[in-house]
Amino acid sequence: MKNKIILGLSGGVDSATAACLLKQNQESLEAVFMKNWDEDDDKDYCPAEQDLADAREVAQNLNIPLHTVNFASEYWDKVFSHFLNEYKAGRTPNPDILCNSEIKFKVFLDYAIDKFTDTNHKQTIKIATGHYARIREQDGQFYLLKGLDKNKDQSYFLHALNQNQLAHALFPLGELNKQEVREIAKSKQLSVFNKKDSTGICFIGERNFNEFLSRFLSTTKGDMVTPEGEVIAQHNGLMYYTIGQRKGLGIGGSKTSTGEPWFVANKDIENNRLIVVQGKDHPLLYQSELIASQIHWINDPIPAYPFSCQAKTRYRQPDQSCEINSINDDGFIKVTFSTAQFGITPGQSIVFYQDDICLGGGIIEK
């Protein structure tokens, strides 16, 4: 008995190539274009229109039924509200991770099961996406593995998925690299074969981030200061900056300047001050330990503390050796790295690995 596969078709080359591969395997396949952000009030920036047009062209070319659905309300409630609250608290969230666990593999999965389940045929509903990751089933459990293309692996963004979500998920691109993906799309004469990859946060895209954020949150300017308290410049609002940031600080020369570039080292929320240092080797930019909460483990049994593994504190960072220890009954953990890490940022995710297997992750607290 074949699965009934519902593909999230975004209008990009990755999901288009996933559609090619699934169609090639003669799967029972339909596609859904998800609109997760309401752009009615943003007439000058509406990429969803072009993405939908591209998705329709791909679906027509491959003779796949295409449905459209609007999850903007769910996205606002489950992802964007959290995003704003984190910035209000002076942290730097990663909404793409929450979008995967709460929208693409929860709301979309529920929608697919509800709309496409045919009780007469007793088909199992699977949802497919263009993510670069792999799933392996073993001994009744589903394991999330890195995509084989190390430059595109997206397991970092998928680490919060649970067993039920992985059981219903397919990642057709997990064994491919990006060049192969584009070549497949080109061979099928899909116009999106050379479409530029989308960048930035999912609902913000290419637009100016600071201008977008200012629509929803008010902010107060304050001092940029050295660790010794010397005022160097003015910041535009702490929410616009992240630990380790170099670009966009607007700091000119000063009497005590070494000529090296400036970096954000910390945020003094209480006093509305941004702590900045010079030189990427400054010790305040590096930490050997962090505290994390909201820990999610993908597989049972949950690891017994302490234990050693690898971790990433940001996407595309090489795996870093570390040891994990439990702190308290509330689920907080302490992660100690073998070497000090640059720019550890509260609000971001730390994701754990054993070689190619993604174990899970959590939110960096401090």
Instruction: Just list the catalytic residues.
Output: 99, 202
**Residues 126, 169 contacting (CB under 8 angstroms):** yes
Please give the single-letter amino acid code of residue 126: K
Please give the single-letter amino acid code of residue 149: D
To the nearest 10°, the Cα dihedral for 308, 311, 313, 319? 130
d(CA 152, CA 158): 13
d(CA 92, CA 242): 6
**Residues 48, 36 contacting (CB under 8 angstroms):** no
**Residues 293, 330 contacting (CB under 8 angstroms):** yes
3-state secondary structure 129-184: CCCCEEEEEECCEEEEEECCCCCCCCHHHHCCCCHHHHHCEECCCCCCCHHHHHHH
In 3-state terms, what secondary structure has residue 49? Answer: helix
**Residues 278, 303 contacting (CB under 8 angstroms):** no
Number of alpha carbons in the 13 Å side-chain half-sphere of residue 45: 13
262-268 vs 141-146, strand pairing mode: unpaired
**Residues 12, 131 contacting (CB under 8 angstroms):** no
Structure tokens at 240: 């616009």
d(CA 240, CA 90): 9
Structure tokens at 284: 């305040």
